[in-house]
Amino acid sequence: MGKIGRNEPCPCGSGKKYKNCCLKQEEERQETVVQTGEFGEQLSLFENLWEKKLEECLMDLMEGQASEEYQATVGMAEARLDEKINPQVMDGLVKAFLRFVELKPWEWMSDIDLFAVQVPGEEELTYACILGNAGVVFGLAIYPGDDGIQYYLRQRAVEGKGHLSMFEDLGPSLLLSLGNRDELLPEERKVYKELDYRFRGREAWPVFRSYRPGYYVWKLTADEMLLATAVLEQSIQFALHCKKHRRQWNNKIEQDKIPWCVAGCSLEEMEKKLRWTPLPEVRHKIEIIPADEILLKKVRKEVPLCQGIWELDWFYSPMPVQESKHHVPVRPLMLAICDHETGLMLDFNLVYREQADIAGFVVKTIRGLRRRPRVVMVSDPLKVLAVSKLFSLLGCEVCVADYMMMDDFKDTLLEMD
């Protein structure tokens, strides 16, 4: 095909002249690439520079903890101190866990066999399921209260995300499983030694972990250990009841019902006192991003609209930040924008969840690039609702992406962790 004249009809069949159609779009795309390069020297595609910028972001976070602005915010790191292990309480949990492991309930139960326990002193039910039927993780997952069961339901909904699900908010839940000695924290190994526990072989050590929203996965507190012990002991009775009444469990599960009883109920008592309750429905949380109408309308007038497609996402970083050894590490929130067609990262930042300003981050990027995208893609419908007002004021269309180029960036983060 020969060269197409600027004033000739565009070969795409739009009916417009070539200069006003495909040629114009190509020139705009090339200009965007040039301006992106000017704006993002510090956002080089070379991996070592990416790592340098991430390290700088992490350092800024830790240094910012001493600022007046941070101290005025109820920071997660400030709110949760790292509690020392109570050897006596841990000993009770280990003994209950070893009785559970000896039973091997995963041979006839799976994580869909959810059950609930009413623990004395707890206002809400505590939910749990047995792991190991798939031959990967052997143990018990515990979901405290209404927030816990909602997390369980969300986990089932994101199973298709695979390893990317670790960028989501975690918990609240407790995981009691068999693991290796190197998975234990130094303090845990010390307590095991003091209690004279010795385990040999791979995946033979009891590993207890707490998942809390906004925090890095950490060891259990004394209160969590006491709750886990009560649920563990009752889970043994649930497992024996399930083995004896497998058909009944199957029928009830198909009806989206789960069994529950009070902690301390024996197998004989469960024959009469076991109750079945409907599985709670998943509850979607939508946090609308605040939008400054005056500022956004000003940005809309200042910055022209381009034909580009951007991706916007906010997710938890796999790299934890620990204020000091006395605090539980937190998971900072990462805000990121990339070009959907090229995968080029346009900008990103690490912030504490309480200090996240998504609208401000978007405005900063738009002003820096001197362009507004025609379309902004996000990862799921809930995020569309969260930013719909923001981008409506900016004159941009928002939709859900079938595939996010941002996922490649997340894979890079996992390799760097």
What pLDDT is stored for residue 234 in this prediction? 98
Q: Which of 278, 302, 330 is the last residue of a domain?
A: 278
Strand partners of residue 126: 117, 144
Grouping H, G, I as helix, E, B as strand and the rest as coil, residue 87 is helix
Grouping H, G, I as helix, E, B as strand and the rest as coil, residue 76 is helix
C-alpha span between 411 and 32 (Å, rounded):
26
pLDDT band for 45, please (50, 70, 90 cuts).
very low
pLDDT band for 4, please (50, 70, 90 cuts).
low
Residues 260 and 296 placed together within one structural domain of the fold: no
Identify whether 60 is part of a domain.
Answer: no
Q: Which residues contact 400 (CB under 8 A, 6 or more apart)?
A: 377, 378, 379, 380, 381, 383, 384
What pLDDT is stored for residue 407 in this prediction? 86
Identify whether 54 is part of a domain.
Answer: no
pLDDT band for 309, please (50, 70, 90 cuts).
very high
Residue labelled with tokens 């019902």: 257
For residue 113, pLDDT beyond 70 = yes
For residue 28, pLDDT beyond 60 = no
For residue 85, pLDDT beyond 80 = yes
245-254: pLDDT as tens digits:
999 999 999 9
Please say whether the beta carbons of 393 and 293 come within 8 A.
yes
What pLDDT is stored for residue 56 in this prediction? 66
What pLDDT is stored for residue 194 in this prediction? 96
What pLDDT is stored for residue 164 in this prediction? 57
C-alpha span between 306 and 303 (Å, rounded):
9
Percentages helix, strand, coil for the chain (3-state, rounded to 5) are 45, 20, 35
pLDDT band for 284, please (50, 70, 90 cuts).
confident
Residues 301 and 266 placed together within one structural domain of the fold: no
Identify whether 62 is part of a domain.
Answer: no
For residue 43, pLDDT beyond 60 = no
Q: Is 132 exposed, middle or buried (0-12, 13-18, 19+ CB in 10 A)?
A: buried
What pLDDT is stored for residue 77 in this prediction? 40
Please say whether the beta carbons of 386 and 286 come within 8 A.
yes
Closest by alpha carbon to 409, among 98, 51, 75? 51
Count of domains observed in the chain: 2
pLDDT band for 160, please (50, 70, 90 cuts).
low
Q: What is the CATH number of the domain that holds 403?
A: 3.30.420
pTM listed for this prediction: 0.80
Q: Which domain holds residue 130?
A: 73-278
Q: Which residues contact 257 (CB under 8 A, 6 or more apart)?
A: 276, 277, 278, 279
C-alpha span between 237 and 109 (Å, rounded):
13
pLDDT band for 76, please (50, 70, 90 cuts).
very low
For residue 14, pLDDT beyond 80 = no
DSSP conformation class of 21: T
What pLDDT is stored for residue 38 in this prediction? 45
For residue 21, pLDDT beyond 80 = no
188-233: pLDDT as tens digits:
999 999 999 999 888 899 999 999 998 999 999 999 999 999 999 9
Closest by alpha carbon to 308, among 367, 377, 239? 377
Q: Which of 217, 244, 278 is the last residue of a domain?
A: 278
Residues 130 and 266 placed together within one structural domain of the fold: yes
Which tokens in the block code for residue 332?
């900072």
Identify whether 367 is part of a domain.
Answer: yes
Residues 254 and 323 placed together within one structural domain of the fold: no
Residue 404 is inside which H or E element, if any?
A: none
Q: Which of 278, 310, 326 is the last residue of a domain?
A: 278
Q: At 174, which amino acid appears?
A: L
Residue 261 is inside which H or E element, if any?
A: strand 257-262
Identify whether 294 is part of a domain.
Answer: yes
Distances (CA, A) of 73 to 68, 119, 169, 232, 350: 9, 34, 20, 38, 16
Give the pLDDT mean for 392-406: 92
